[in-house]
Amino acid sequence: MPQDLILEMKGIYKSFPGVKVFDGFDFDLRKGEIHCICGENGAGKSTLIKILSGAYTPDSGEIYFDGKKTDIINPRVAMQTGIQTIYQEHTLFPLLSVYENLYTGNELEKGIILNKATMVSKSKEILEYLHSDISPYDIVGRLGSGGQKTVEIARGLLQESRVIILDEPTSSFSQTEITHLLNILKKLAQSGLSIIYISHHIEEVFKIADRVTIIRDGLKISTYDLKDLTEQQLIIDMVGRDVSLFYQRQKAEIGEVVFEAKNLSGNGVGDASFTVRRGELIGIAGMVGSGRTELAEILFGYKRTTSGEISIKGKKTNVKTPLNAISNKMCFITEDRQATGLFLKHAMDKNIPIASYSQTPGPFAMPGNDVKLTQKYIDLLNINTPSVFQLVMFLSGGNQQKVVLGKWFATDADIFIFDEPTRGIDVGAKEEIYKIMVELLQAGKAIIMVSSDMPELIAMSDKVMVMREGSMVAELYKDEINEENILKYSIGGSMR
Amino acid sequence: MRSNNSLKRVSRSENLSIFLVLLIIIAAVILVEFFLVRSMDITKVAFVKPMNIANVLLQVSITGILALSMTLIMISGGIDLSIGQMMCFLGTGMAFLIKTAGWNEWGVAALTLIVAIGFQLIMGLIISRTKIEAFIVSLGFLSIYKGFTYLITNGREITIEGRFTFLGKTYLNITPAFRIAFPVIMWIALTVIVWFLLKYTKFGRRVYAVGGNENAAYLAGINVKNFKLLLYGINGLFIALATMAQLSRLGTGNPLMGEGKEIEVIAAVVVGGTALAGGKGNAWGTFIGVLMLGIISNALNIIGVNPHWQYVTRGALIILAVSLTYISSQRAASVSLNERERRPLI
């Protein structure tokens, strides 16, 4: 092992039931370098972070820290070893002051009382070192995103970390905050600290990195010194998937426009316009956090629009609540089925009919009819369950997703919004969901599909809209729909 | 389809364990009285006397009515701590208007309905339109009602001297010794209505849906805010009915007439199998829970337990009953889990 390596990972394997995430992953990090990691959604970036921060333990493989073999079995060990992870979401206590946040868990004491004076003066030193004008007494919740990120970095320094991992640190940053953060990081690297930097934003990567590692499907594809890397090469390495992974879907006849969005804004989405036709599936692509889910939410009235209009079947329609959307024959299969799709503690016959109640006449809901309706969708969607009285929490992920589908099929919808339709579902169940989607298209329904799964987007979509930072940046048809194009527009860069 | 049947049984028998606990308690009461108190002479066992049974039913009927609307609110994920003090406020207010101001008693009853529903709607508006916990909002209203009560009464009770007796003093005479009071009939009728609403109407399904997963319920087209508002309105109606029955029975507006009722009611609802977290519960479970707590109090009196020890015993029995139902529901869940492991579900 060369002397200048601080961290080395060799042959890391990690799998979850049904999915192999890391299949012999290698990685090394030099002292005092900024090492950027690039990869598509789901390439294994977050698994890498979780292994290094002790949230996951690898199934096999070795990790060397400063030349010594280390087992990072939990987050505490990771921190003691000297690895500090700064997650995308803030992990600070918003109601406490900066110095209290910096010392939480490692408070300095004088006898049995807190040594406030020393904590404050040391906090001040570190903040000054970071060229920050934050005071130790400021309340963290009142700082902006950039300020909070600075406090998290300060906390890492205070604990004498030697490796700092930053996951998408600049989401929701202003341009000056980004510049400030990148300058701080460069300065820290010069002082000998090693930084792993994960970002979707190609311009940040090219501004800051010493080396860049590209991962795909849980494998390291390549590592470059920044001077040897071009944007073109970066994208080629990020894509390039085996064609046999692609699902072959059947065609459906595309008819008249049934859904039209004009200049929709709100909920973090800016000025989105598009149309969907009968029998057409439009894919919404983009990196995580690019505003795809937020768009789906305003289409369905789950969140409010601030401007713009929606027309359904040629009629201008005001979709202010999900109830409006359902009455207009829309439905929304959300990204997180457990949080927003299912009633986990309730049986299937209490889940499937619930959305249809607003569309059927009369105040009654006879259990017999509900059981019949539930049984109908169990048969139609081939849901594997011992009975209609099974509690939904005891079903597998794929079957739970089908319960969500059943709930919406029962409303007899025409416009389907799918957000990550196959997340956390194994391959067999995935194909079944695709088949169901194609059947919907053939029956003349329209589908808007938000997805992070590249093969899924490419195989299923008639048209792909790419989003970046809340705006639609590209509209791709037929032959233009390929990984390189989608990725190129998703991460920005200068090629537009 | 053996597993099919066993699962059906699990889902149909959600009140079975609490019902068994009730039977065990009744048996225990009879045995204790038989062996320890009445020296093995069954004819002297006071607990099984018709008069005593009618008495227990009457004693618990007011709590029972309040517990029904509390069940709706708790299944939907809310709670209302103000019901006891609201009862004091409404009851003394009614007595004041009937006695001191000399108003027509049925007019006062109608006004009480309006006031109760109105105040509950105000509380429901605050709870459903803000993110403030129902616990805190209703705690605030508890204090407000208590203040109103003392402003009206100055701490003294107001007797209504033989007026407004219909609700509390009308009986259905089955035998001379076994007379069922009107509040009991009201309680049973309302239980049937709430059971029907929960089981056979869209309204009922929505109660469970809102408590089971509020976001999913909203996305399924339920106007969650207005729905919660409706539930608090219904709660107002039930509190008004319970208050009228209580006032009519006591014949006096006592500033302590509803004191501590919220604890009694919530205990009964939870004993009856409603989850504090929402999404689970039913009318008959609550019915049994109310009955059980009533029987425990009554039995401790009959057996002659020192009143101070009664609190301790009652508390311990409540915890025991809830533990037993919890254990049995855990067992039911693990049965379904095993079934899942045995069956390959994609």
Look up residue B247 and give its two tokens. 């006032």
Q: Which residues pair with A36 in a beta bridge?
A: A197, A212
Estimate to the nearest angstrom the gap between the alpha carbon of B68 and the chain centroid.
5
Look up residue A223 and give its two tokens. 């590592």
Residues of B numbered 255-284 whose beta carbons fall under 8 angstroms of chain A's beta carbons: which are they? 279-280
The DSSP line for B86-116 is: HHHHHHHHHHIIIIIS---HHHHHHHHHHHH
Contact flag A340-B219 (C-beta cutoff 8 Å): yes
The number of beta carbons lying within 10 Å of the beta carbon of residue B331 is: 11
Task: Calculate the CA dihedral of residues A408, A412, A414, A415 and round it to 10 degrees.
Answer: -20
Q: Which of A321, A343, A365 sits opposite B213 (nearest CB)?
A: A343
Domains of chain B: 18-336 (1.10.3470)
The number of beta carbons lying within 10 Å of the beta carbon of residue A128 is: 11
Residue in chain B closest to A432 (alpha carbons) equals B346
- CA angle centred on A197, ends A193 and A200, rounded to 5°: 165
Q: Which of A366, A390, A426 sits opposite B336 (nearest CB)?
A: A390
Contact flag B201-A302 (C-beta cutoff 8 Å): no
A222 phi-psi bin (left φ>0, alpha ψ -120 to 50, beta other): beta
Contact flag B200-A364 (C-beta cutoff 8 Å): yes
Contact (Cβ atoms closer than 8 angstroms) between residue A398 and residue A427: no
**Interchain CB contact of B345 with A (< 8 Å):** yes
**What's the pLDDT score for residue A55?**
87
Q: Which of A352, A391, A405 to mutate to test the interface with B (most CBs of B within 10 A)?
A: A391
Residues of A numbered 39-78 whose beta carbons fall under 8 angstroms of chain B's beta carbons: which are they? none
Q: Considering only CB atoms, which chain A residues are within 8 Å of B211?
A: none
Question: Residue A16: phi, psi to the nearest 5?
Answer: -115, 160
User: For chain B, which ranges sit under pLDDT 70?
Assistant: 1-13, 329, 331-346
Q: Which of B3, B212, B222 sits opposite A346 (nearest CB)?
A: B212
Report the alpha-carbon distance of residue A89 to residue A106 in Å, rounded: 22
Q: What is the Cβ-side half-sphere exposure of residue A206, based on CA atoms within 13 angstroms?
A: 15
Residue in chain A closest to B341 (alpha carbons) equals A394
Question: Which helix (H) or strand (E) element contains residue B281?
Answer: none
Look up residue B142 and give its two tokens. 């508890």
Report the alpha-carbon distance of residue B24 to residue B295 in Å, rounded: 12
Residues of A numbered 318-347 whose beta carbons fall under 8 angstroms of chain B's beta carbons: which are they? 321-323, 326-327, 332, 334, 339-347
Q: Nearest CA to CA, how far is B207 from chain A (Å)? A: 11
Residue (of A452, A343, A326) closest to A393 by Cα position: A343
**Interchain CB contact of B4 with A (< 8 Å):** yes
Q: What is the Cβ-side half-sphere exposure of residue A33, based on CA atoms within 13 angstroms?
A: 19
Q: Considering only CB atoms, which chain A residues are within 8 Å of B214?
A: none
Q: What is the Cβ-side half-sphere exposure of residue B36, based on CA atoms within 13 angstroms?
A: 11
User: Strands B252-253 and B158-159, how do they pair?
Assistant: antiparallel
Q: Which of A326, A342, A364 sits opposite B221 (nearest CB)?
A: A326
Contact flag B219-A428 (C-beta cutoff 8 Å): no
Question: Residue A233: phi, psi to the nearest 5?
Answer: -65, -40
Residues of B numbered 308-337 whose beta carbons fall under 8 angstroms of chain A's beta carbons: which are they? 333, 336-337
Ranges assigned E (strand) in A248-367: 257-266, 269-277, 281-285, 307-312, 315-317, 330-333
Angle at which helix B307-342 crosses helix B16-32, to 10 degrees, equals 150
Residues of B numbered 68-87 whose beta carbons fall under 8 angstroms of chain A's beta carbons: which are they? none
Contact flag B346-A384 (C-beta cutoff 8 Å): yes
Q: Nearest CA to CA, how far is B140 from chain A (Å)? A: 25
Residue (of B50, B45, B10) closest to B28 by Cα position: B45
Q: How many contacts (CB atoms, under 8 Å) link A and B?
A: 115
Q: Nearest CA to CA, how far is A9 from chain B (Å)? A: 35
Fill in the DSSP letter of residue A391: B
Find the farthest-apart pair of alpha carbons in chain B and give their distance in angstroms, rounded: 73
A273 phi-psi bin (left φ>0, alpha ψ -120 to 50, beta other): beta
Contact (Cβ atoms closer than 8 angstroms) between residue A343 and residue B279: yes
* Predicted confidence (pLDDT) per residue in B257-314, tens digit: 999 999 999 999 998 989 888 999 999 999 999 999 999 999 988 888 888 988 898 8
Q: Nearest CA to CA, how far is A314 from chain B (Å)? A: 23
Spell out the per-residue pLDDT of chain A, length 496, in tens: 456 889 999 999 988 766 678 888 899 999 999 999 988 877 888 888 889 988 888 999 999 998 889 888 888 888 888 898 888 777 889 899 999 999 987 788 888 888 899 999 999 999 988 888 899 999 998 888 788 888 988 988 888 889 999 988 887 677 788 888 899 899 999 988 999 999 878 888 898 999 999 988 888 889 999 999 988 888 888 876 655 556 788 889 999 999 999 999 999 899 999 999 999 999 999 888 889 999 999 999 999 999 999 999 999 999 999 999 999 999 999 999 999 999 999 999 999 999 999 988 989 999 999 999 999 999 999 998 888 999 998 888 889 999 999 999 999 899 999 999 988 777 778 888 999 999 999 999 999 999 988 888 999 999 999 998 899 999 999 889 988 889 888 887 544 3
Report the alpha-carbon distance of residue A35 to residue A347 in Å, rounded: 49
**Interchain CB contact of A386 with B (< 8 Å):** yes
Fill in the DSSP letter of residue A404: H
Q: Which of A343, A356, A359, A407 to mutate to test the interface with B (most CBs of B within 10 A)?
A: A343
Contact flag B205-A350 (C-beta cutoff 8 Å): yes
Look up residue A457 and give its two tokens. 């987007």
Contact (Cβ atoms closer than 8 angstroms) between residue A304 and residue A322: no
Q: Which of B217, B223, B336 sits opposite A391 (nearest CB)?
A: B336
Contact flag B4-A387 (C-beta cutoff 8 Å): yes
Report the alpha-carbon distance of residue A326 to residue A320 in Å, rounded: 11
Contact (Cβ atoms closer than 8 angstroms) between residue B145 and residue B86: yes
Q: Considering only CB atoms, which chain A residues are within 8 Å of B222?
A: 323, 354, 358
Look up residue A441 and give its two tokens. 């298209």
**Interchain CB contact of A357 with B (< 8 Å):** yes
Report the alpha-carbon distance of residue A74 to residue A60 in Å, rounded: 16
Q: Considering only CB atoms, which chain A residues are within 8 Å of B204?
A: 365
Report the alpha-carbon distance of residue A66 to residue A318 in Å, rounded: 61
Q: Nearest CA to CA, how far is B335 from chain A (Å)? A: 11
Residue (of A376, A407, A382, A409) closest to A396 by Cα position: A382
Contact (Cβ atoms closer than 8 angstroms) between residue B175 and residue B258: no
Contact (Cβ atoms closer than 8 angstroms) between residue A441 and residue A280: yes
Tell me the pTM. 0.81
Q: To which residue do tokens 């929505």 refer?
A: B206
Q: Considering only CB atoms, which chain B residues are within 8 Å of A426?
A: 346
Residue in chain B closest to A326 (alpha carbons) equals B221
Contact (Cβ atoms closer than 8 angstroms) between residue B115 and residue B93: yes
Q: To which residue do tokens 């996305």 refer?
A: B219
Residues of B numbered 197-236 whose beta carbons fall under 8 angstroms of chain A's beta carbons: which are they? 199-206, 208-209, 212-213, 215-223
Question: Which helix (H) or strand (E) element contains residue A446?
Answer: strand A446-450
Q: Which of B203, B209, B340 sits opposite A363 (nearest CB)?
A: B203
Q: Which of A340, A342, A383, A425 to mutate to test the interface with B (most CBs of B within 10 A)?
A: A340
Fill in the DSSP letter of residue A396: -
